[in-house]
Structure 1
């Protein structure tokens, strides 16, 4: 179970029939019981549900990278969920419901790409449900019974979700706002500068005739020096 490649599989139960020795295992997923026999060599599972297990979940359990199904529901487990649970990259089903687990649900749980079933209901988890499309696509019933959990898919919002977002100094949003303000002032100053420059040169010529005569005489002298007079 500690390897992602399982040539023979790992399982917990077997039956001894009259015909011969047959390996089978039963697994409850999404409230439906499945029995595996022929495909059992491809299955890696731990089902310790409905026992009297106590104490914390050992973090060494998270080293089982080849584990596909883990069911520890209906026990008396307490403490926090190991932060390293995201290392169980092959996990497809995780049921921790009806225990006494507390603390936050690790964000690393959202990184398990094959996880298709999750149930952490009726514990004492608190804080925000890990953000991620996969986690937030589960039904809200997977998280009920945890009075201090918040965020999608639950309807309870977390503290601060309703507050308006304030740009943090140095963030991309603030830089975009600054760039837009600079561009706005640039475009506004273009026509103003054109008008001021135009009247600064031509305004005096339009007002005083002597200045107009002197100006055109100056242009005429420059033309004569460059191209010759005719």
Structure 2
């Protein structure tokens, strides 16, 4: 069985009951029960994991506070179905990815706090979101966000993020080059140890190079000394 709720000329379909198992006993909570829940405050409870998509069933919520926990993942797009929300606080968690555009559909929203997460991308536009007070405070602590409220141009910010990713890869490149150099050097060294003819040829080449460089330096030094002596009074 399903119940149909009409709100703002749009129909939403919800299950008539929610099965909950407690102490090996299954209980069905019918639609009017969870429809009456208007305030849900689970802040500062060390909650971890992601917000379940089923939160959209709590259509009567006006106040949702999940701040100061260890929640991760993306903010579910289904939060936009909670059309009665007046206050939403998801601050001080570890939410990532972008802010769902569905938040702009919360026409009753008067308080929003998404500060100090790992959110990134463009901040959704919408008359309701733009009308909220303390725009900077709402999004503070999310260094990956861009848009008017945080004063970062999204096109410029994307270029900066791309550059930072390239910089992050540089240590790996240097490490690979170092490993390649060491492996190549040891390969040559071990080969010379195993083959006498190669070893003899290598040292002969070193001696020839040394003699050639020594002769060139000695000749140039002698010519320079002659010029200095000729120029002396």
Judge conservation of contact 1:4–1:65 (CA < 8 Å) in 2: no
Rate the CA distance shift 1:141–1:4 in 2: closer, same or farther, 3 A: farther
Which one has a bigger Cα radius of gyration?
Answer: 1
In structure 2, the gaps of 5 or more residues are: 8-35, 158-233
Q: Encode CA deviations 1:113-147: one digit per residue, 9 max, x unaligned.
A: 00000000000000011101221233211100000
Deviation at 1:3, TM superposition (A): 7.4
Partners of 1:103 and 1:148 in 2: CA distance: 9
Q: How many aligned positions are there?
A: 125
* Inter-partner Cα distance in structure 2 for 1:99 and 1:3: 32
Q: SS in structure 1 opposite 2:109?
A: coil
State the TM-score, normalized to the length of structure 2.
Answer: 0.50
**CA shift in 2, pair 1:51/1:130, >3 Å:** same
C-alpha spacing 1:3/1:55, structure 2 compared with 1 (3 Å):
farther
Cα pair distance change 1:72/1:155, threshold 3 Å: same
State the partner residue of 2:154.
158
Name 1:147's counterpart in structure 2: 143
- Give the whole-Å Cα distance in 2 for the aligned partners of 1:152 and 1:59: 29
Choose between structure 1 and 2: higher helix proportion: 2
Root-mean-square deviation over aligned CA pairs: 2.5
Between the aligned partners of 2:40 and 2:68, the Cα distance in structure 1 is 14
**Relative to structure 1, is the Cα distance of residues 47 and 4 closer, same or farther in structure 2, using a 3 angstrom cutoff?**
farther
Structure 1 residue runs of 4+, over 3 Å off? 2-5
User: Do 2:93 and 2:117's aligned partners in 1 also have CA atoms closer than 8 Å?
Assistant: yes
Matched, 1:133 2:127: yes
Residues 71-220 of structure 1 correspond to what in structure 2 (within 5 A)? 71-138=65-132, 139-159=135-155
Deviations, residues 79-115 of structure 1 (Å, cap 9, x unaligned): 0011121100000000000000001111010011000
Tell me: higher relative CO, structure 1 or 2? Use CA pairs within 8 A at least 6 residues apart: 1
Distance in 2 between residues matched to 1:131 and 1:157, nearest whole Å: 14
* Equivalent of 1:46 in 40, 44, 56: 40
Maintained 8 Å contact 1:3/1:66: no
